[in-house]
Amino acid sequence: MSEPLFQDVIRKRRSVRKFEPGRQVAREALERIVDCGRWAPSCANVQCFDFIVVDDPEVRDRVMEVFLRQAQRLVDHAKGFPAVKKTYLANTVAIIIVLGDPRWKVCFPQPTSKSWEAEYRDNNEMIFLNSIGAAIQNIQLGVAAEGLTSAWLSGGGEDVTNTELAEVLGYPAWMKAYGTIPIGYPASTQNRRYRRPLEQCLHWNGYQPKKYRTHAQVDFYESTLRPFAMYRDEESMETWEDRAEKLGDWDAAFTAAAPNPRRRPGTGGRFFRAPHHGSGH
């Protein structure tokens, strides 16, 4: 097999939640995948992550039980979020849990006085999470490069799930599972997924107001489009058979080069209303 091109790997990294049952993978492949995580960037090179690879079916099943309970809590308490059932975890060849170790935050830039404490605390939290995110992303790319597939489970970071996972896997519960990556052989080809047109998110030399997405557009995505954008095997909404029905008046906002074509340069200001605290906007 020839080496895949980097761009191919980027595009092959789709979140797939259906795996072929009864497959196995060599530990060497899992080691290569974890090595991708090890080479991720981290602030001050603290490498504030550890990787637990579960490839023993008995331990895997106990981890799955934790996520089945987590999924049920999501159904019961997370307002209509379109999550899929986690029973597919039974067909993983391995599950990688990426732990974040918060003690390393002391190595990030620290304030010289009390008045700078809040600024640096927030900054360090972002730096910490970004460093772990980079490791998780590298692992996902490593998975794709091996011809396997995965999805990024974020639920593991919440308190109940994390306490239960820590009990099963024996890590200190003040470390957190920021990313859980179930790995398997894809049961179906899933090569495409909705992405905004490149022109919509690319701004040359400054933010272009024509590309600003209004609060109403965010609301429409949340109320109507989200499950389709998350799970359909289509890169563009232009190819959706039910495009007119699903998009209605929002068609151009999601498919054209600019969601806000009438907005002229220099007319930002008041128009960019800040989000409300505690809600999406």
Ligand X SMILES: Cc1cc2nc3c(=O)[nH]c(=O)nc-3n(C[C@H](O)[C@H](O)[C@H](O)COP(=O)(O)O)c2cc1C
d(CA 221, CA 61) in angstroms, rounded, equals 35
Q: Nearest approach, Cβ of 91 to ligand X (angstroms)? A: 14
CB of 268 to ligand X, least distance (A): 28
Judged by CB under 6 A, how many residues of this single chain contact ligand X?
10
Contacts of 155 (CB under 8 A, 6+ apart): 67, 70, 71, 74, 161, 180
| Candidate residues 37, 100, 155, 186; the one interacting with ligand X per rule CB under 6 A | 155
Non-local (6+) Cβ contacts of 259 within 8 A are: 200, 210, 211, 212, 213, 214, 217, 252, 253
- Contact region with ligand X (CB under 6 A), list: 14-22, 37-45, 167-175, 262-270: 14-22
C-beta of 174: minimal distance to ligand X in Å? 21
From residue 186 to residue 215, the character string flagging contacts with ligand X as x (rule: CB under 6 A) and all else as - is -------x----------------------
267 sits near ligand X (criterion: CB under 6 A): no
Residues in region 61-100 near ligand X by CB under 6 A? none
Element (H, E) at 201: helix 198-201
User: Contact with ligand X (CB under 6 A): which of 44, 91, 152, 175?
Assistant: 152
Angle at 70 between CA 69 and CA 72, to 5 degrees: 65
Could you give the CA distance from residue 129 to residue 109 in angstroms, rounded to a whole number?
A: 15
Please report how close the Cβ of residue 151 comes to ligand X at its closest, in angstroms: 4
> Nearest 5°: CA angle at 209, between 206 and 211?
95
Q: b/e per residue, 144-160, with b = 16+ CB within 10 A?
A: bbbebbbbbbebbbeee
Nearer to ligand X, 40 or 153 (CB): 153
Among 4, 9, 11, 15, contact with ligand X (rule: CB under 6 A): 15
Tokens of 67: 């996520």
Among 29, 230, 256, 258, binds ligand X (CB under 6 A): 230
Q: What angle do CA 200, 208, 275 make, to 5 degrees?
A: 85
Among 12, 14, 60, 105, binds ligand X (CB under 6 A): 14
Question: Which residues bind to ligand X, rule: CB under 6 A?
Answer: 14-15, 17, 151-155, 193, 230
